[in-house]
C-alpha cells in the first residue's frame, strides 16, 4: 500500500489521517498554529448532486497543489473532499494561500458542472482536535460555487 494516490503527491485517506493527526500533535506540543483547509467537490447530473469521483478529486488536487508549499499536506479526507494542512500557519496567514487556491479554482474551466466549497479551521482558534477541525472547516465554507451550470445558477454564494 502506498501513501500517495497513484501518479500524484496527494496522500491517500489513511495516510492523510495519520500524518494530519501527527502534525496536529506536534502543533500542540510546540504551541504552533495549524490550519486545515477543506475542498469539497461534487457534480450535478439531472438535478442530483453526487460526490466527486477519484479522478475529479485528483484533477482538483493537481490544480490547487500548485498553490501550496512542499511542506504542507494535501490529501483525501472523505469521499468528495480534499484536505490541505497548512503547517505553522494561523488563519490570518493562511488566508493568502486560501485566496490563491480560490482564485485557481475560479479561473479553471471544469468540463462538467460542479459544486465546490472551500472551508477552513485553525488550531487552536477554532478547534483543538482533528475531528472538530474537520467538522468546523466543513460546516463553515468560506466560498461555495456552482461552476459550469446555467448562467443564472453559476454564482458565488
At residue 1 the predicted structure's pLDDT band, cuts being 50, 70 and 90, is low
Question: Does residue 155 sit within a domain?
Answer: no
pLDDT at residue 73 in the model: 93
At residue 157 the predicted structure's pLDDT band, cuts being 50, 70 and 90, is very low
pLDDT digits (tens, 9 = 90+) for 82-111: 999 999 999 999 999 999 999 998 888 888
Mean pLDDT computed over 8-32: 94
Question: Does residue 74 sit within a domain?
Answer: yes
Distance CA(19)–CA(3), nearest Å, equals: 10
Mean pLDDT computed over 29-55: 87
Question: Does residue 39 sit within a domain?
Answer: yes
Q: How high does pLDDT run on average in the chain?
A: 86
Question: Does residue 61 sit within a domain?
Answer: yes
Question: Does residue 131 sit within a domain?
Answer: yes
Domain with 122 in it: what CATH number? 3.30.70.270
Question: Does residue 2 sit within a domain?
Answer: no
| Contact assessment for residue 113 and residue 146, using Cβ atoms and an 8 Å cutoff | yes
DSSP 80-139: TEEEEEEET--HHHHHHHHHHHHHHHHT---SS-EEEEEEEEEETTT-SSHHHHHHHHHH
pLDDT at 64 over 50: yes
Domain region containing 40: 13-147
pLDDT at residue 108 in the model: 87
pLDDT digits (tens, 9 = 90+) for 111-149: 877 888 999 999 999 999 999 999 999 998 888 877 665
Structurally, how many domains does the chain consist of?
A: 1
Question: Does residue 153 sit within a domain?
Answer: no
Question: Does residue 8 sit within a domain?
Answer: no
Instruction: Give pTM, 2 decimals.
Output: 0.87
Amino acid at each position: 500500500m502506498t501513501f500517495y494516490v497513484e501518479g500524484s503527491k496527494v496522500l491517500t485517506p489513511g495516510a492523510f489521517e495519520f500524518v494530519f493527526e501527527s502534525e496536529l500533535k506536534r502543533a500542540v506540543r510546540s504551541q504552533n498554529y495549524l490550519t486545515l483547509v477543506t475542498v469539497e467537490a461534487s457534480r450535478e447530473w439531472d438535478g442530483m448532486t453526487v460526490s466527486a469521483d477519484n479522478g475529479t478529486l485528483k484533477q482538483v488536487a493537481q490544480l490547487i497543489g500548485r498553490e501550496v508549499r512542499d511542506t504542507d499536506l494535501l490529501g483525501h479526507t472523505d469521499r468528495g473532499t480534499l484536505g490541505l494542512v497548512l503547517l505553522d500557519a494561523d488563519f490570518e496567514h493562511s488566508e493568502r494561500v486560501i485566496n490563491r487556491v480560490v482564485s485557481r479554482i475560479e479561473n479553471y474551466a471544469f468540463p462538467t458542472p460542479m459544486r465546490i466549497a472551500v472551508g477552513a479551521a485553525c488550531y487552536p482558534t477554532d478547534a483543538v482536535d482533528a475531528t472538530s477541525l474537520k467538522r468546523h472547516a466543513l460546516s463553515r465554507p468560506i466560498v461555495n460555487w456552482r461552476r459550469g451550470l446555467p448562467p443564472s445558477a453559476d454564482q458565488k454564494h
